[in-house]
Amino acid sequence: MQSSADVLRDIWTSAGGDPAALGRVQLTGEEPQIPSSFRVAVAGQTTIAAAGLAATEIWRLRSGEAQDVSVDMRHAVVECRSERYLRVDDKPPPPAWDAIAGVYRTGDGRFVRCHTNFPHHRDAVCNVLGCVPEREKVQAALMQWKGEDFETAAYAAGGVVALMRSYDEWSALPQARALAELQLVSIEKIGEAPAKPWPQGLSNSDRPLAGLRVLDLSRVIAGPVAGRTLAAHGADVLLVSGPELPAIPWLTIDTGRGKLTTFIELKSGAGRVQLRALLKDADVFSQGYRPRALAALGFAPEDAAQISPGIVYVTLSAYGHAGPWAERRGFDSLVQTTTGFNQAEGQAAGIDGPKELPAQMLDHATGYLMAFGAMVAKARQAREGGSWHVRVSLAQTGRWLWNLGRLDGGLNTPDLTGDAVHAAFIESMPSGFGTLKAVRHSAVLSTTPAQWSRPAMPLGSHPAQWPSRS
């Protein structure tokens, strides 16, 4: 199997990174770190390192000074489960899942996973099944269904569910074949524009992305992690949400560190005017809305390139931008289920049914790849001009993780709990929710240490405007 260094080299060079920069990276630690037959620790370490290295390259472009970056594998794995270790006023996270979320058997002996953390997704499942949202009633109703038929019907009704498939079953689907033709991180020029100069006035106390403006239109984990990472390297990240959009409060706190947050009602004309005004002065537009949702409101990548020539537009999807499932909604847990991870992990553990990965690794790794792609594209824009579109997906990250190989005996690894999570990985900070104890960023830059200079705040706490660059 490839070493961590080789995995990072592939990520870096596939996006056009200078191989010489890899000499300034130090990767420490050995796998496995948490119980899994998959190389989740390497996935976390290398995607975080790729984003950190991209930040150092931007610093070199802006300041003329090279710097080193190091990532410890255990720290990276802890960061890829940061939501588990967050404490607010010393209180641990509440239960993570809705009462009827999770795995069920179907009448044909298959397994399906329902994601019902948002009320409208829960309602869609119950409407299809004709039952109340109680676990026993859902299970009884599903015994009248074939697994794949329920998956299809639930998606058609606006739900998000997944049939558990083996890797071979998944690989035979047209969607898997479409993913095989795509890059892990796609970076494409989508419009002509002059090169935008870097913001002026960089000082020794600044970080690589100082003065850059990032619009973050995302929820849950992957997209928000990308924004949190860009904020750690100094960007002004403005999280745009809607007052009626459902959110998962604990994740909002954990991924809100370093960000401003505002409400804009995009379904209103006035709201779209607000967003266009922000977009005109933005450097990066990062979004994880369901496919075509923003295009219908006038914020497709090509629209953004017209509104803000030179923009870097970052798109997160569940199953990739090509193939028959390109429009399908999804979350990490569902992509794990349908692409073979849960079946394979369960089989390795000797159980009848699905077993989840010990981290939402598709989410977290994809978030770091989003940040990496955004920085690579921004550096390219500063050199060559143009507007750029970066695309990543949970399923493509999953395909990459699968191809890293398997670990014999990896499931016997003790989990990281209690004292196994070193105090050096945790920092304390104020927030709009109380005092946070949270995982610090694991990419350690030698000259410009990553940090979050803004506290996590309740959604909508700030006006819909950019801070001054002066």
Task: Per-residue pLDDT tens, the chain, 470 aa: give them.
Answer: 999 999 999 999 999 999 999 999 999 999 999 999 999 999 999 999 999 999 999 999 999 999 999 999 999 999 999 999 999 999 988 877 888 999 999 999 999 999 888 888 899 999 999 999 999 999 999 999 999 999 999 999 999 999 999 999 999 999 999 999 999 999 999 999 999 999 987 777 799 999 999 999 998 899 999 999 999 999 999 999 998 888 889 999 999 999 999 999 999 999 999 999 999 999 999 999 877 889 999 999 999 999 999 999 999 999 999 999 998 888 899 999 999 999 999 999 999 999 999 999 999 999 999 999 999 999 999 999 999 999 999 999 999 999 999 999 999 999 998 767 788 899 999 999 999 999 999 999 999 999 999 999 999 999 999 998 76
Domain spans in the chain, listed from the N-terminal domain onward = 4-94+177-323+357-445
* Cα 438 from Cα 427, distance rounded (Å): 6
Closest among 15, 48, 112 to 359, alpha carbons compared: 48
* Cα 445 from Cα 448, distance rounded (Å): 6
| Burial class, 445, CB count within 10 angstroms (exposed 0-12 / middle 13-18 / buried 19+) | buried
* Cα 389 from Cα 311, distance rounded (Å): 8
Write down the CATH number for the domain with range 4-94+177-323+357-445.
3.40.50.10540
pTM: 0.97
Q: Match 């558990």 to its residue by tokens.
A: 164
Type of residue at 456: A
Q: Match 């058609």 to its residue by tokens.
A: 156
* Cα 285 from Cα 389, distance rounded (Å): 10
Closest among 25, 13, 84 to 56, alpha carbons compared: 25
Tens-place pLDDT, residues 44-69: 999 999 999 999 999 999 999 999 99
Query: b/e for 326-335, b at 16 or more Cβ within 10 A?
Result: bebbbbbbbb
Tens-place pLDDT, residues 140-197: 999 999 999 999 999 999 999 999 999 999 999 999 999 999 999 999 999 999 999 9
* Cα 312 from Cα 338, distance rounded (Å): 31
Three-class SS string for the chain? CCCHHHHHHHHHHHCCCCHHHHHHEEEECCCCCCCCCECHHHHHHHHHHHHHHHHHHHHHHHHCCCCCEEEEHHHHHHHCCHHHHCEECCECCCCCCCCCCEEEECCCCCEEEECCCCHHHHHHHHHHHCCCCCHHHHHHHHCCCCHHHHHHHHHHCCCCEEECCCHHHHHCCHHHHHHCCCCCCEEEEEECCCCCCCCCCCCCCCCCCCCCEEEEECCCCHHHHHHHHHHHCCCEEEEEECCCCCCCHHHHHHHCCCEEEEECCCCCHHHHHHHHHHHHCCCEEEECCCCCCCHHHCCCHHHHHHHCCCCEEEEEECCCCCCCCCCCCCCHHHHHHHCCHHHHHHHHHCCCCCCCCCCCHHHHHHHHHHHHHHHHHHHHHHHHCCEEEEEEEHHHHHHHHHHCCECCCHHHCCCCCHHHCCHHHEEEECCECECEEEECCCEEECCCCCCCCCCCCCCCCCCCCCCCCC
**Inter-residue contact 321 to 315 (CB < 8 Å):** yes
Tell me what pLDDT residue 215 has: 98
| Burial class, 166, CB count within 10 angstroms (exposed 0-12 / middle 13-18 / buried 19+) | middle
* Cα 2 from Cα 23, distance rounded (Å): 17
Q: How many other CB atoms are there within 10 angstroms of residue 412's CB atom?
A: 11
Tell me what pLDDT residue 418 has: 73
